[in-house]
Structure 1
């Protein structure tokens, strides 16, 4: 399969691309810089120069491939407009892929979050049958999807796209992660001289090695039916205290 991947040089993408290539797929990654292009070439992918802001360019690119894996996002908007601005920018991006894929049955796999079902699952584990949570916008008085990227991708199944969402665990770890939750906690412990946790540290976190998540992206691309959510989770209930104790033990600092 000829696959177009966005975010191929990020933490998730840098594992997804080799996973796809090892399975025999021909992968082309979106690159907006010479550095990104070199990184994609180094792991065996072809390069398509472009940018997430170029919606017609994304549509044209998607039309040339047998499937799309989208794990990139407009990180540049995070500090100025927060997650709402990032999500708002993602919707037209997903729809740009959907335009050439409509009616073809070709796959579109989009990265989501394990937290998207939200408080609707309070008291029980979230399942792959739980849709993204919808909440009321207090300021505008209208219903909107907190996870509009997920619902937009899933909605494309009604237009003949084999679309699905891989919800990544809260902690997606590997030795190459430099900006995730765990590296942040480790850096904080080094700065403060101890590995702390909130309250009694009993609140639970879920985790997955990003290599396992990459395998799930591949399987969703190859075999996943339209309109499905998939949960990339291995460890389902790690307490914050256990995480802090592990960090403290490794760093040799109090916890």
Structure 2
């Protein structure tokens, strides 16, 4: 299969690219810079120059492919609504290029927008009028493409996709702990996060591309419910720092932009995903991966 991938040089995207190549697919990656183009070429990927804000390049890349994996996202949390609007336009553009072809589109979404305090499933949707709807519009738009002749599916990633080379949430928490002199959780830290290893997430994306039914929402979740205080404890142990709670009112001052998500209680299940696609995670769990120590090197 000829697969067009946006976000192909990212932490998850680069793992997806390797997974696709190893499975015998031919991959073309969207590149907005010379650096990204060089990285794709080195990985054995064809280069398609363009940008998420360039509908012409997205349309051309999608139209020339047998399937599309859309992982690109503008990670500008100072204008999250603007980043989500760009994502929505990208989905609409790609969807229009694939309409009526029956070809697959796999897009990246998240579990954090689901209702708090209960174990979210693939059949749950983001509550209307919630903040999570800002991002969920892209997911809903993609899934609706099933009614327009596109085999579209949404892979919901947890807040922690972990593994070597991760510069995301966990790396941010480690940097904050080092700066503040202690590893923190909010309140008693009993709020729960799901997680998945990068290799397992990449394999699920491939499986979704190859065989997910149209209109499917999938959960890239291994650990369903890791208490945040357990993560804080591992960080404190490896950094030789004390562990203590901060109040919800102190969360943003302590964690910065992560303060808006560090206190979320959003466990999630992947039981239906495993049933539908035969996906079984094999990578280390979150605590095990942290305990390997690579997050704390350097």
The answer, yes or no, to whether TM exceeds 0.5 is yes
Give me the TM-score of the superposition, normalised by structure 1.
0.90
Contact 1:165 1:229 in 2 (8 A): yes
Query: Among residues 83, 91, 98, which one is paired with 1:94 in the alignment?
Result: 91
> Aligned partners of 2:158, 2:2: CA distance in 1, in Å?
27
Equivalence map 1:42-57=2 (5 Å): 42-57=42-57
**Paired position in structure 1 for 2:27:** 27
Please list every run of at least 4 consecutive aligned residues from structure 1 whose deviation after the TM superposition is greater than 4 angstroms.
none
> Aligned partners of 2:86, 2:49: CA distance in 1, in Å?
20
> Aligned partners of 1:145, 1:84: CA distance in 2, in Å?
6
> Aligned partners of 1:225, 1:104: CA distance in 2, in Å?
14
**Paired position in structure 2 for 1:163:** 152
> Aligned partners of 1:198, 1:130: CA distance in 2, in Å?
26
Equivalence map 1:140-219=2 (5 Å): 147-178=136-167, 180-219=168-207
**Paired position in structure 2 for 1:74:** 74
* Aligned-pair CA distance for 1:238: 0.9
**Paired position in structure 2 for 1:3:** 3
Contact 1:69 1:109 in 2 (8 A): yes
Distance 1:198 1:124, change over 3 A: closer
Deviations 1:72-110 (A, max 9, x none): 01335x42xx22111112122111111121111100000
SS of structure 2 residue aligned to 1:226: coil
Distance 1:173 1:74, change over 3 A: same
Structure 1 runs not aligned, ≥5 long: 138-143
Distance 1:187 1:89, change over 3 A: same
**Paired position in structure 2 for 1:126:** 120
Give the count of matched residue pairs.
242
Query: Among residues 67, 82, 86, which one is paired with 1:85 in the alignment?
Result: 82
**Paired position in structure 2 for 1:141:** none
RMSD across aligned positions (CA): 1.5
> Aligned partners of 2:203, 2:135: CA distance in 1, in Å?
27
Range with greater deviation from structure 2 (162-171 or 127-136):
127-136
* Aligned-pair CA distance for 1:136: 6.8
Contact 2:156 2:217 in 1 (8 A): yes
Equivalence map 1:103-142=2 (5 Å): 103-116=100-113, 118-119=114-115, 122-135=116-129
> Aligned partners of 1:106, 1:205: CA distance in 2, in Å?
33
Range with greater deviation from structure 2 (144-153 or 82-91):
144-153
> Aligned partners of 1:189, 1:115: CA distance in 2, in Å?
23
Contact 1:132 1:150 in 2 (8 A): no
